[in-house]
Chain A
Amino acid sequence: MAIDFGDLKVYERMTQDPRFEDAYQGCLSCGTCESLCPAGQFYDYNPREVVEATGRADEAELRNWLENKIWYCAQCCSCKFRCPRGNSAADLVMILRDIAVEKGWAKEALEKYTRILKTILTVGNQLSPDMIAPDFFPDWGPRVAEMSKHKKEWRAELGIPGLMPIDRSWAVPAHVIKELLDIWKLSGAMDRVEATNPFLVELAWDNIEEALEDEKQAAEASHT
Chain B
Amino acid sequence: MALAEEPHAHSHDIRQEMRELEDKGEIKIQRVVGPYEEVEVAHGIKKKIPTTHLYQHKSCGQCTNLPGVPASSMYVYEQLGIDYLNDMEHTSCTAWNYHASATNNLVSLAAAAVRNWHRVYETGYNLDVHCVTSFGNYQEMRHLLVTKKEIRDEVRKIMHAIGRELVIPEEVVHNSEVMYVLRDQIAAKAKYRFDGLRAVDHIGCHFYKIMNDDVIGGAKPIVVRELGKTLGFDVQDYSKWFHCCGFGFRHILVNREFTRSALRVKLQAIQREVDPDVILVNCTGCGTTIDKNQWIMKAVGENYSYPALFHSQIAALSLGADPYKVAGINFHATPVEPVLKKVGIL
> Do chains A and B directly touch (beta carbons under 8 Å) in the complex?
yes
Residues in chain A within 8 A of chain B (CB atoms): 17-19, 22, 36, 38-39, 41-43, 71, 74-78, 80-81, 86, 94, 97-98, 100-102, 106, 109-113, 116-117, 120, 124-129, 131-132, 137, 139-144, 146-147, 150, 154-155, 157-163, 169-173, 176-177, 179-180, 182-184, 186-189, 192-193, 196
On whether the beta carbons of B209 and A101 are closer than 8 Å, the reply is: no
On whether A75 and B248 interact (CB within 8 A), knowing A154-B330, A183-B108, the answer reads yes
The reply to whether B154 and A187 contact each other, CB–CB distance below 8 Å, is: yes
Chain B positions within 8 Å of A140 at CB level: 292-293, 295-296, 333
Complex Cα gap A196–B324 (Å): 42
Chain B residues with CB under 8 Å of A74's CB are 244, 246-249, 251, 258, 262
Contact indicator A76/B244 (Cβ below 8 Å):
yes
Q: Which residue of B lies closest to A110 (CB)?
A: B101
- Candidate in A39, A75, A188 with the most chain B CB atoms within 10 angstroms: A75
| B248 CB contacts on chain A under 8 angstroms | 38-39, 74-76
Task: For the A-B complex with A75-B100, A154-B330, A183-B112 known, give 8 more contacts whose Cβ atoms are closer than 8 Å.
Answer: A18-B150, A43-B258, A102-B105, A109-B101, A147-B330, A170-B88, A172-B89, A183-B158
- A139 CB, nearest partner CB in chain B, Å: 4
- Closest beta carbon of chain A to B91's beta carbon, Å: 4
B50 at the interface (CB under 8 A from A): no
| CB of B18 within 8 Å of the partner chain | no
B67, A184: Cβ atoms under 8 Å?
no
Please determine whether A132 and B325 come into contact, CB atoms closer than 8 angstroms.
no
Complex CA–CA separation, A113 to B222 (angstroms): 35
Query: Which of B111, B119, B210 interacts with A183 by CB under 8 Å?
Result: B111
* Closest A residue by C-beta to B159: A183
Bound Cα distance from A95 to B112, whole angstroms: 19
Measured in the bound complex, the distance between the Cα atoms of B148 and A93 in whole Å is: 20
- Nearest Cβ distance between residue B96 and chain A, in whole angstroms? 5
Total A-B residue contacts, Cβ distance less than 8 Å: 248
Q: State whether A126 touches B97 (Cβ < 8 A).
A: yes
Q: Are B205 and A76 closer than 8 Å at their CB atoms?
A: yes
**With A and B bound together, what is the CA distance between A117 and B105 in angstroms?**
13
Residues of the B chain whose Cβ atoms lie less than 8 Å from the Cβ of A146 = 330
Q: Are A187 and B103 in contact (CB under 8 A)?
A: no
B106: which A residues are within 8 A, CB to CB? 17-19, 98
Give Cα A40 to B88, complex, Å. Answer: 40
Closest residue of chain B to A139 (Cβ to Cβ) is: B296
Question: B168: CB under 8 A from chain A?
Answer: no
Main secondary structure of the interface of A (DSSP, over half): helix
Q: How far is the CA of A33 from the CA of B106 in the complex (A)?
A: 24
State whether A187 touches B108 (Cβ < 8 A): yes
- B residues in contact with A17, CB < 8 Å: 106
Check B242–A36 contact: CB distance below 8 A: yes
Closest to B62 in A: A169
When C-beta atoms are compared, the residue in chain A nearest to B114 turns out to be: A183
Contacts of B8 in A (CB 8 A): 86
CB <8 Å contact, B324 and A157: yes
Stretch among B31-39, B68-76, B185-193, B231-239 lining the A interface: B68-76
8 A Cβ contacts from B90-136 to A: 90-92, 94, 96-108, 111-112, 115, 119, 136
Flag if A142 contacts B295 (CB, 8 Å): yes
Decide yes or no whether B43 CB sits under 8 A from chain A.
no
Bound Cα distance from A38 to B249, whole angstroms: 13
Residues of A within 8 A of B61 (CB): 126-127, 169
List residues of chain A with CB within 8 A of the CB of B328: 154, 158
> B67–A126 contact, CB under 8 A?
no
Q: Which of A19, A113, A155 contacts B101 (CB 8 A)?
A: A113
Could you tell me which residues of chain B, from 166 to 200, have a CB within 8 Å of some CB in chain A?
Answer: none
A112 to B255, CA, bound (A): 10
Which residue of A100, A172, A177, A186 is within 8 Å of B102 (Cβ)? Answer: A100
A139: chain B residues at CB < 8 Å are 256, 260, 293, 295-296
Across the interface, name the chain A residue whose C-beta is closest to B59: A169
Distance in angstroms from A17 CB to nearest chain B CB is: 8
Task: Pick 16 A–B contacts, CB within 8 A, sort by A.
Answer: A116-B101, A126-B97, A139-B293, A140-B292, A143-B335, A154-B324, A169-B58, A169-B92, A171-B88, A179-B115, A180-B94, A182-B161, A183-B158, A187-B107, A192-B105, A193-B103
Q: Which residues of A contact B101 (CB under 8 A)?
A: 97, 101, 106, 109-110, 113, 116-117
Whole-angstrom CA separation of A146 from B294 in the bound complex: 17
> In the assembly, what is the distance between CA of A32 and CA of B251, in Å?
23
Contacts of B325 in A (CB 8 A): 157-159
Q: Are B91 and A172 in contact (CB under 8 A)?
A: yes
**How many Å lie between the Cα of A71 and that of B262 in the bound state?**
16
B64 at the interface (CB under 8 A from A): yes
A-facing residues in B20-63 (Cβ within 8 Å): 58-61, 63
Q: Which of B210, B212, B249 has the most A CB atoms < 10 Å from its CB?
A: B210
Q: What is the chain B residue whose CB lies nearest that of A42?
A: B261
Contact between chains at B92 and A126 (CB < 8 Å): yes
Q: How far is the CB of A198 from chain B (nearest CB, A)?
A: 13
1/0 per residue, CB under 8 A from A, across B259-274: the answer is: 0111001000000000
Contact of A169 among B60, B208, B293 (CB under 8 A): B60
The distance from the CB of A157 to the nearest CB of chain B, in whole angstroms, is: 5
